[in-house]
Amino acid sequence: MPSAAYKDDVSVNRIAWHWHEEFELLHLLDGSIEFLIGTTQFTLKGGEALFINTQILLSAWEEHASSCSYHSVVFHPLLVGGSETSVFMRKYISPILLNPSLPYMVFKPDNSWQSHVIDQIENVWSEIRSHEEGYEFAVRSGLSNCILEICRHGNDYMTPPSEKQLREQERVKNMLLYIEEHLADNITIKDIAAAAYISNTECMRCFKGILHTTPIQYLKQIRLRRAEKLLTSTNLRVEEIGLRCGFTEMSYFARSFRKEYGANPLAYRCFSTFQFVVFVLTRSNVIGTPYTVFMVR
């Protein structure tokens, strides 16, 4: 089924710059999150929800050092549309997909129709996680209701981007994709700029204007995040992880990782493994009873 339900906490796992082919509906359960979508920055507060269109470049982080847990449903447009030529796709889905003026919508619980959307998101999230017989029908029905409300009220939320903004966002996407695909290589600013067919100066300007960082700082952050994931999800040697993430000098890798995560790579792996084991043991009700742990984004 082309849908997935996630649970995570932005105060633990910041939402790094990304985009995807699917629609996303996100319900923030508590705290507050700073979102940066394209060139627009705004605060999403606990209880509020968010619709994110396809191909939209975004990032998010906690506003304060507190819990910012959320439920997220990611689904392919065809789940609601059915087929490329269906009336559902032509009348409801395509006007959203093909609308660069509607990158996102915020839903607030004190508004009646928006509160209905938030309830639908939670129902869909629960259905996907339950996997009970017939849950697919409930998921498609709930998502269809959400899409219908977005179509009805989308005109009130349109913010037409300039051609310059669209062009710069496409350039940044190309450069970020290049970085992801060549993380282990000795990447230079010239290489990153070439991925978008622009000069080094224009590359620097795009990163500063949209991502609020430099290409080299972004590259380092992505390498460290990839290293952290490999440390906690694989048994690869620390040296191998460093090389896979583009760190050719292990001392520099260790210093950079310690500065970002508060411990050197090996100590961080040991501590994370210990926390996971304690979590499983403390949540087991009966000794010897298997406990299922769902690894979520």
Q: What is the mean pLDDT of residues 14-27?
A: 93
Residues 180 and 98 in one domain: no
Which of 120, 139, 157 is at the close of a domain? 157
Stretch among 6-15, 79-88, 153-162, 285-294 having the lowest mean pLDDT? 285-294
The whole-number pLDDT of residue 286 equals: 37
- Here the CATH number for the domain that contains residue 191 is 1.10.10
Task: Choose between 277 and 233: higher pLDDT.
Answer: 233
Residue 294, pLDDT above cutoff 60: no
| H-type alpha helices, the chain | 77-81, 87-88, 94-97, 112-130, 135-153, 163-181, 189-195, 200-206, 215-233, 238-244, 250-261, 265-283
- Here the CATH number for the domain that contains residue 261 is 1.10.10.60
Residues 227 and 100 in one domain: no
Number of other CB atoms surrounding residue 259 within 10 Å:
9
Residues 67 and 85 in one domain: yes
Domain count, the chain: 3
Q: What is the mean pLDDT of residues 140-164?
A: 90
Residue 244 confidence class, pLDDT cut points 50, 70, 90: very high
Task: Choose between 292 and 92: higher pLDDT.
Answer: 92
Residues 292 and 221 in one domain: yes
Which of 157, 184, 201 is at the close of a domain? 157
Mean pLDDT value across the chain: 88
Tokens of 295: 């690894």
- Here the CATH number for the domain that contains residue 113 is 2.60.120.280
The whole-number pLDDT of residue 281 equals: 40
Cut 0.85: pTM above it:
no
Domain span at residue 50 reads 3-157
Residues 208 and 238 in one domain: no
Residues 196 and 297 in one domain: no
Distance CA 294, CA 297 (A): 10
The whole-number pLDDT of residue 164 equals: 87
Task: Choose between 115 and 163: higher pLDDT.
Answer: 115
Residues 140 and 184 in one domain: no
The whole-number pLDDT of residue 163 equals: 86
- Looking at residue 9, the DSSP 8-state letter turns out to be E
Residues 7 and 153 in one domain: yes
Residue 280 confidence class, pLDDT cut points 50, 70, 90: very low
Residues 68 and 182 in one domain: no
Tokens of 27: 């319900």
Which residues lie across from 26 on neighbouring strands?
50, 72
Residue 220 confidence class, pLDDT cut points 50, 70, 90: very high
The whole-number pLDDT of residue 273 equals: 61
Residues 21 and 143 in one domain: yes
pLDDT tens digits for range 170-204? 999 999 999 999 999 999 999 999 999 999 999 99
Percent of the chain with pLDDT strictly greater than 70:
91
The whole-number pLDDT of residue 279 equals: 39
Residue 283, pLDDT above cutoff 60: no
- Looking at residue 23, the DSSP 8-state letter turns out to be E
In this structure, which amino acid lies at residue 136? E
pLDDT tens digits for range 74-127? 999 999 999 889 999 999 999 999 788 999 999 999 999 999 999 999 999 999
Residues 84 and 22 in one domain: yes
Residues 197 and 220 in one domain: no
Which residues lie across from 15 on neighbouring strands?
60
| Cβ atoms 27, 63 nearer than 8 A | no
Percent of the chain with pLDDT strictly greater than 90:
73
Residue 278, pLDDT above cutoff 60: no
